Amino acid sequence: MKFLKSILYFMAVLSLAMFLVTLGSVNGQQIHINFLIAQDDFSLAALLVGAFFSGFLVALCALGFSYIVTRLKLRKLQNHIARLSSQINTPVKE
């Protein structure tokens, strides 16, 4: 099942890459961009790819942070369960 899931992810990324290549070949015109201190000309395809990858990196950072927080909470709760289980298993002295 894990292998099938990885194949589906690979196919999704491959189809997205093919879409971006097709979009880039159609949009070949040059665009003039004014930065704060400089100016430059870029192709529209390069700007689209840059915007896509910058959005991808922002989403990856947000999801990575969420994943790390969730794993830390899981570890804390597992330690709490282990501590409570050890308290249940210890004999009570009267």
pLDDT in tens, 32-73: 888 888 898 888 878 877 888 899 899 999 999 999 999 999
In a domain, 6, yes or no: yes
Structural domain includes residue 94: no
Residue 15 lies in a domain: yes
pLDDT band at 29; cut points 50, 70, 90: confident
In total, how many domains does the chain have? 1
Query: Could you tell me the residue range of the domain that residue 67 belongs to?
Result: 2-89
For residues 79 and 89, the model is more confident at 79
In a domain, 75, yes or no: yes
As a whole number, mean pLDDT of residues 73-89 equals: 93
Nearest by Cα to 22 from 42, 48, 53: 48
Is residue 9 domain-resident? yes
Kindly state whether residue 20 falls inside one of the protein's structural domains. Answer: yes
The helix (H) or strand (E) run that includes residue 32 is strand 30-34
- The CA distances from residue 91 to 35, 45, 85, in Å, are 72, 71, 12
Does the pTM exceed 0.75? Answer: no
Residue 82 in domain: yes
Which of 34-38, 64-68, 78-82, 87-91 has the weakest average pLDDT? Answer: 87-91
